[in-house]
């Protein structure tokens, strides 16, 4: 247990455990981390369309539809039709969402504290800066067609059907 491993494997593992921990704590408000993320971003962009919010939160549009369906049912958000674009729906938080947002921030701080237990402040700051830089680097690679990558399909985990050829 705890043996050092490739940084990439570790990064994925820490992320997975962080999400699990956050969601364990967030069960009291019955929200997933993604739902919380959407609420947090929506607070700063009320009136945005689903497409805009999907872009900001880096969530697939179809996933956004599902998250919003759920949260609309929970009366946390409202979809109002946009008079300027009859395709779009403008998004708003409900009054019920306000205290939920406070709780989200409380939980975020709580779990961050648990994760960084015994990590000095200066190290946390370096960590945050590196993480932000890594994010920018990876985003740039995604947009940039520079790094040549083959065009084949993503590999599967399950055994492929035995090729009958």
Partner DNA sequence: ATGATATAATATCACTTGATATTAAATCGC
Partner DNA sequence: GCGATTTAATATCAAGTGATATTATATCAT
Residues that bind DNA (CB under 7 A): 32, 34, 49-52, 54, 60-66, 68, 79, 85-89, 154, 156-158
Please state the closest distance from residue 109 (CB atom) to DNA, in A: 24
C-beta of residue 91 within 8 angstroms of C-beta of residue 49: yes
As a whole number of angstroms, the distance between CA 6 and CA 36 comes to 30
Among the candidate windows 25-33, 46-54, 78-86, 87-95, which touches a copy of itself by CB under 8 A? 25-33
As a whole number of angstroms, the distance between CA 49 and CA 116 comes to 36
Site for a copy of itself in 37-66 (CB under 8 A): 37, 40-41, 58, 63, 66
Output 9 or 86, the one with its CB closest to a copy of itself: 9
As a whole number of angstroms, the distance between CA 159 and CA 91 comes to 43
As a whole number of angstroms, the distance between CA 104 and CA 83 comes to 32
Strand partners, 89: 81
Q: Of these partners, DNA, a copy of itself, none, which one is at the site of residue 137 (CB under 5 to 8 Å by kind)? A: a copy of itself
First to last CA, the chain: 44
Please state the closest distance from residue 115 (CB atom) to a copy of itself, in A: 5
Number of neighbours of residue 107 by Cβ within 10 angstroms: 21
Q: Of these partners, a copy of itself, DNA, none, which one is at the site of residue 61 (CB under 5 to 8 Å by kind)? A: DNA
Q: How far is CA 28 from CA 25, 107, 142, in A?
A: 7, 10, 36
Among the candidate windows 75-83, 85-93, 95-103, 130-138, which touches a copy of itself by CB under 8 A? 130-138
Output 60 or 85, the one with its CB closest to a copy of itself: 60
136 binds a copy of itself (CB under 8 A): yes
């Amino acid at each position: 247990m705890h043996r050092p491993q490739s940084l990439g494997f570790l990064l994925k593992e820490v992320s997975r455990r962080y999400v699990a921990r956050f969601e364990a704590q967030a069960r009291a408000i019955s929200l997933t981390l993604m739902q919380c993320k959407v609420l947090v971003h929506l607070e700063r962009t009320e009136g945005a369309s689903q497409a805009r919010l999907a872009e900001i939160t880096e969530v697939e549009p179809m996933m956004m539809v599902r998250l919003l369906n759920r949260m609309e049912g929970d009366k946390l958000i409202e979809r109002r039709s946009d008079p300027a674009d009859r395709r779009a729906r403008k998004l708003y938080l409900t009054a019920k969402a306000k205290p939920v947002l406070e709780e989200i921030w409380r939980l975020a701080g709580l779990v961050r504290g648990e994760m960084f237990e015994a990590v000095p402040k200066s190290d946390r700051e370096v960590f945050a800066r590196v993480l932000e830089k890594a994010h920018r680097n990876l985003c740039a690679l995604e947009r940039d067609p520079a790094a040549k990558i083959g065009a084949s399909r993503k590999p599967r985990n399950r055994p492929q059907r035995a090729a009958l050829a």
